[in-house]
Amino acid sequence: MDYGAFRREVRAFLDEALTPRLKRAGQLQTSVFADFEATMEWHRILYRKGWVAPDWPPEYGGTGWDLIQRHIFQEECKLADAPSLLPMGLQMLGPLLIRYGTEAQKAHYLPRILSGEDVWCQGYSEPGAGSDLASLKTRAVRDGDHYVVDGSKIWTSMAHHANRIFCLVRTANTEKPQAGISFLLVDMATPGITVRPIVGLDGRVEQCEVFFDGVRVPVENRVGAENQGWEVAKYLLAFERGGHHFAADHKKQLRRIARILAAEADPEGRLRGEDPDFCARLAAAEVEALALEYTELRVKGGLAAGASPGALSSLIKVAGCEIGQRLDALALEAAGLWCAPFQPEALSPDWTGTPAAPDHALTAMACYVDNRASTIYGGAAEVQRDIMARHLLGL
Ligand SMILES: Cc1cc2nc3c(=O)[nH]c(=O)nc-3n(C[C@H](O)[C@H](O)[C@H](O)COP(=O)(O)OP(=O)(O)OC[C@H]3O[C@@H](n4cnc5c(N)ncnc54)[C@H](O)[C@@H]3O)c2cc1C
């Protein structure tokens, strides 16, 4: 494999396919999610090219690229400012259905994830069930060939855009709470579902509450056996934690910091990039980002060989998120007072007003506050450390 030629092929495609609006959406992305319309436009472009699901096996619509090619692709997309694709269908549900879905579920849902026709959200967390997910209370009671679902989910990312939700529901009250959970695929248009948006710290909506009131879900929409949903859910979580490409994120963050450092000076007129204390802290974070890149490649090597990343995905997640948070804090420090104006509308690629901060500093504050959540979602960092202690260190 000539990786240099592959990288050039990817770059040439990105040069041609990324419109200025799509690139703007990528530049203004401050969390896992970019502007929704731009994200789906980019999804459809990649689908038509056959590059939308590089991590899937080729027989299900993957590209057949090896690990290094996929790494190169993710890196080039990030550095070309492509908006990130939604992970819930491509990175979470898709691999899960490939492993646990019936033939009918695979045939129906996988092509719709690939084409972007179905937009999925993840209904795991509840007001009383986050880290302690097995205590979830949303109930599904069998009524003939349907389940009737009652309860509520919270922090459901993109539920206001999604037309489908995959949910963990309680189908039995067992002594061990994990043994009474099932995994359901639900159409968001089913009567009895209400979505209530939550406004985030950056002033925008990404998460929602989702309420279920007598929602009828066909039994054939269950993935895995009844009361065996915990095993299915855990398989998905390992992909959620291990499926992200932190190295590409960190490189984009470092590039953002470099732009700020080149433009911003302290009150004495010294460029921030000339401050030795700041530079030492930046260099330390950059070294850790590089070390993580190789660890990530090692774990993805296991994934490529068909293994579930297991507890190693917890290690990647904690380190990836914490390095990302350090880089965002450095960007905030470098951008200084430009972080004070609160202007959420300036982060839309379609906004035509006058921004209060220069372009290089426009996203620093929103990136910082949005990224605080990264050590909470997908499993809080403290809980990930417990998993590592138990499963990797045998403590
Ligand atoms: C931006 C964002 C997006 C999200 N998107 C989704 C989504 O799309 N779908 C979805 O289902 N959920 C989503 N979540 C929810 C997320 O998974 C939960 O917030 C997370 O699991 C933590 O649960 P909690 O918020 O109930 O906090 P809690 O579990 O109450 O934790 C509170 C604190 O206690 C600590 N703690 C808890 N248990 C332990 C323990 N055993 N040992 C040590 N410390 C512990 C935690 O680390 C944390 O610091 C999202 C959350 C955020 C912030």
| Domains 120-228 and 244-391 equal at CATH topology level | no
**Res 272: pLDDT:** 80
- Is pLDDT at 115 greater than 70 in this prediction? yes
- Closest listed residue to residue 52, CA positions, set 105, 98, 115: 115
131 lines ligand 1 (CB under 6 A): yes
What is the distance between the alpha carbons of residues 28 and 45, in angstroms, rounded to a whole number? 20
What is the distance between the alpha carbons of residues 258 and 237, in angstroms, rounded to a whole number? 34
Across-strand partners of 184?
167, 222
CA R_g for the chain: 21
Q: What is the pLDDT of residues 196-224, one digit of tens each?
A: 999 999 999 999 999 999 999 999 999 99
Specify the residue with its C-alpha closest to ligand 1, atom 48: 380
376 lines ligand 1 (CB under 6 A): yes
**Ligand 1 centroid from CA 261, angstroms:** 34
What is the distance between the alpha carbons of residues 185 and 92, in angstroms, rounded to a whole number? 13
Q: Which fold has domain 120-228?
A: Butyryl-CoA Dehydrogenase, subunit A; domain 2 (2.40.110)
Rounded to an integer, the average pLDDT of 261-269 is: 84
Atom of ligand 1 at shortest distance to CA of 132? 29
Catalytic residue among 75, 126, 240, 293: 240
- Closest listed residue to residue 300, CA positions, set 100, 83, 73, 106: 73
**Res 32: pLDDT:** 94
**Res 101: pLDDT:** 97
SS3 content of the chain, % helix, strand, coil (to 5): 55, 15, 30
For a ligand 1 pocket test, name from 31, 155, 156, 367 the mutation site with the most ligand atoms within 8 angstroms of its C-beta.
155
What is the distance between the alpha carbons of residues 186 and 165, in angstroms, rounded to a whole number? 5
Across-strand partners of 197?
208
Q: Report domain 244-391's class.
A: mainly alpha
Specify the residue with its C-alpha closest to ligand 1, atom 21: 130
Secondary structure letter of residue 228 according to DSSP: B
Domain segments of the chain as ranges: 3-85, 120-228, 244-391
Backbone phi and psi for residue 110, each to the nearest 5 degrees, phi listed first? -60, -45
125 lines ligand 1 (CB under 6 A): yes
Backbone phi and psi for residue 196, each to the nearest 5 degrees, phi listed first? -120, 115
Across-strand partners of 169?
182
pTM: 0.94
Is residue 212 within 8 Å of 150, Cβ to Cβ? yes
**Res 323: pLDDT:** 98
Residue 383: exposure state from Cβ atoms within 10 A (0-12, 13-18, ≥19)? middle
157 lines ligand 1 (CB under 6 A): yes
Q: How far is CA 362 from CA 242, 263, 332, 370, in A?
A: 30, 13, 10, 14
130 lines ligand 1 (CB under 6 A): yes
For a ligand 1 pocket test, name from 86, 125, 240, 372 the mutation site with the most ligand atoms within 8 angstroms of its C-beta.
125
- Asked if 9 is an active-site residue, the reply is no
Is residue 39 within 8 Å of 30, Cβ to Cβ? no
**Ligand 1 centroid from CA 201, angstroms:** 16
- Is pLDDT at 280 greater than 90 in this prediction? yes
Q: What is the pLDDT of residues 4-23, one digit of tens each?
A: 999 999 999 999 999 999 99
- Is pLDDT at 292 greater than 70 in this prediction? yes
DSSP conformation letters of 323-362: HHHHHHHHHHHHHGGGG----GGGGSTT--S--SS-GGGT
pLDDT tier, 346 (very low <50, low <70, confident <90, very high otherwise): very high
**Res 311: pLDDT:** 79
29-38, 62-71, 269-278, 362-371: the lowest-pLDDT one: 269-278
**Res 302: pLDDT:** 75
**Res 242: pLDDT:** 61
Strand 146-153 to 181-187 pairing? unpaired
335 lines ligand 1 (CB under 6 A): no
